[in-house]
Amino acid sequence: MSFAHLTDAQRDALREISNIGMGHAAGALSRLLGETILLKVPRVSVADLGQVPELLGGPEQEVVGVSLRMHGDAQGSMLLIFPCASALQLLESLLGPRSVEEDLDEMAASTLKEVGNILASAYLSTLGGMLRLSLLPSVPALARDMAGAVVDHILIDLGRAGDEALMLETEFHSRAGEGRLLKGHFFLLPDPDSIQTLLRGLGGVV
Amino acid sequence: MSERRRVGISELHVAHAPDTLVTYGLGSCLSITLYDPLIRCGGMAHTLLPAPRPGRGEARPGKFVATAVQGLLAELLALGARRERLQAKLVGGANMFENLLTPNGDLIGERNTETAREILGGLGIALVAEDVGGNYGRTAELVLNSGEVRVKSVRGPSKFLIL
């Protein structure tokens, strides 16, 4: 599958299903936090693998990343990225006031993984429903480090097949007041072999 | 004037003193540096994978450990470096996520490092230092004035290391 062959209509359709999927995911997060979560219009881009860390805010930017695989009829990688301040903000909302610790303790780590699981499950079940595909998230994994280091295992997987990645990205933030900005990015990077499956599914939608 | 040149993912670059080569945010990726202390020139690669699949032509030698070492060596020899003087250093090759394995079930960071050691050994290039493995990311800088490799991390046991 050459990415160059993605038509405008296919891009638009991917953007639209991603938007609906993230809408459901944001709804789930809103209920969890008791706060409104707002979404930006998703981006559908074909990026050179080397550019991906730039799209995450720069390779040295320290982030908290929850990494999951998409399993089922189509495979891919999903990544939920929070700037460190937002991850702490999220933990405060869910677990109550906490000290700004160097390391995420076990409770914090499993809470963030669970947030990743909830978002990914809502996103994939919506996508799967629209595309008539069975799509399921794997167990989440967590890392807090430089963005480049957090994302490079995905680039390594994609790099086995080529030099480009199809990336569905949505940025979200909470509406809470000043000093309480919660910001995150959600990414789906389908495996190259699975892009055709997703596009066939889209054929039934568009 | 000295220049700071950035080596992106899947890239390799060579340069002379007083320049510095730098690559950011290595996780499982491996940075390979080669340095000739006599003529003070060196090169750096930011590799993703051990080797291309058999039979596949690859346009980016910097993407794979195997082709990056060859590529760096060829470019440095062309600049007047000598193989017997070259000093290799490795940075990266971590395993960032506790329960994440490649489709083959192995740790890609370790495989990258192993491959680099084997290839350098096979070519008779001295591997003089490495800061590899663990579960944290690294940024690496090759200072061509001195041949030092400076390693920075935000999570590692030491935040700053000189190889």
* Token couple for A40: 């930006």
Between A163 and B62, residue with greater pLDDT: B62
Whether pLDDT at A206 is above 80: no
Average pLDDT for chain B: 91
The stretch A138-150 carries a mean pLDDT of 92
Whether pLDDT at A200 is above 80: yes
- DSSP, collapsed to helix, strand or coil, labels residue A67 as strand
> Could you give phi then psi for residue A20, rounded to 5 degrees?
-65, -40
Sign of dihedral through CA atoms B88, B94, B100, B106?
Answer: positive
Return the pLDDT at B92.
96
| DSSP-assigned letter for residue B73 | H
A163 close contact with B: CB closer than 8 A: yes
Return the pLDDT at B105.
59
Instruction: Return the residue in B30, B97, B104, B112 with the most chain A beta carbons within 10 A, the one to mutate for interface testing.
Output: B97
Between B119 and A38, residue with greater pLDDT: B119
Q: Which chain A residue lies closest to B49 (C-alpha atoms)?
A: A156
* Token couple for B90: 């490795």
Catalytic residue check, B41:
no
Distance of alpha carbon A17 from alpha carbon B120, whole angstroms: 48
Highest mean pLDDT among A3-7, A52-56, A159-163, B17-21: B17-21
Subunit contact B28:A59, Cβ cutoff 8 A: no
Distance of alpha carbon A82 from alpha carbon A66, whole angstroms: 9
* Token couple for B116: 């680099």
Question: Where is average pLDDT lowest: A48-57, A116-125, B102-111?
Answer: B102-111
ipTM: 0.88
The stretch B38-57 carries a mean pLDDT of 89
Distance of alpha carbon A119 from alpha carbon A188, whole angstroms: 12
pLDDT per residue as tens digits for the range A4-21 = 578 888 888 888 989 999
Q: Which residue has the tokens 């490079």?
A: A152
Whether pLDDT at A192 is above 60: yes
Whether the Cβ atoms of residue B56 and residue B7 lie closer than 8 Å to each other: no
Return the pLDDT at A205.
56
Subunit contact A156:B108, Cβ cutoff 8 A: yes
Question: Where is average pLDDT lowest: A76-85, A140-149, B54-63?
Answer: B54-63
Q: Which chain B residue lies closest to A138 (C-alpha atoms)?
A: B100
Q: Which residues contact A178 (CB under 8 A, 6 or more apart)?
A: none
The stretch A138-142 carries a mean pLDDT of 92
Give B138's strand partners: B26
The stretch B140-150 carries a mean pLDDT of 97
Distance of alpha carbon A97 from alpha carbon A88, whole angstroms: 10
pLDDT band for position B57 (50/70/90)? low
Q: Mind telling me how many Å the CA of A139 is from chain B's nearest CA? A: 9
The stretch B145-159 carries a mean pLDDT of 92
pLDDT per residue as tens digits for the range A98-137 = 765 556 788 888 999 999 999 999 999 999 999 999 999 9
**B-chain residues within 8 Å CB-CB of A139?**
99
pLDDT band for position A2 (50/70/90)? low
Return the pLDDT at B127.
97
Whether pLDDT at B100 is above 70: no
Between B129 and A17, residue with greater pLDDT: B129
Q: Which residues contact B54 (CB under 8 A, 6 or more apart)?
A: none
> Could you give phi then psi for residue B150, rounded to 5 degrees?
-100, 130
Return the pLDDT at B90.
98
pLDDT band for position B53 (50/70/90)? confident
Whether pLDDT at B78 is above 50: yes
pLDDT band for position A202 (50/70/90)? confident
Distance of alpha carbon B48 from alpha carbon B31, whole angstroms: 9
Distance of alpha carbon B119 from alpha carbon B133, whole angstroms: 18
Average pLDDT for chain A: 86
Amino acid A154 reads I
- DSSP, collapsed to helix, strand or coil, labels residue B76 as helix
Return the pLDDT at A1.
47
> Could you give phi then psi for residue A154, rounded to 5 degrees?
-70, -40
Whether the Cβ atoms of residue A118 and residue A125 lie closer than 8 Å to each other: no
Peptide bond connecting B61 to the previous residue in cis, omega within 30 degrees of 0:
no
B53 close contact with A: CB closer than 8 A: yes
| DSSP-assigned letter for residue B49 | B
Distance of alpha carbon B63 from alpha carbon A159, whole angstroms: 8
Whether the Cβ atoms of residue B150 and residue B143 lie closer than 8 Å to each other: yes
Amino acid B66 reads A
Return the pLDDT at A102.
58
Distance of alpha carbon B32 from alpha carbon B69, whole angstroms: 7
**A-chain residues within 8 Å CB-CB of B100?**
67, 141, 153
Instruction: Return the residue in B6, B9, B28 with the most chain A beta carbons within 10 A, the one to mutate for interface testing.
Output: B9
Distance of alpha carbon A109 from alpha carbon A27, whole angstroms: 22
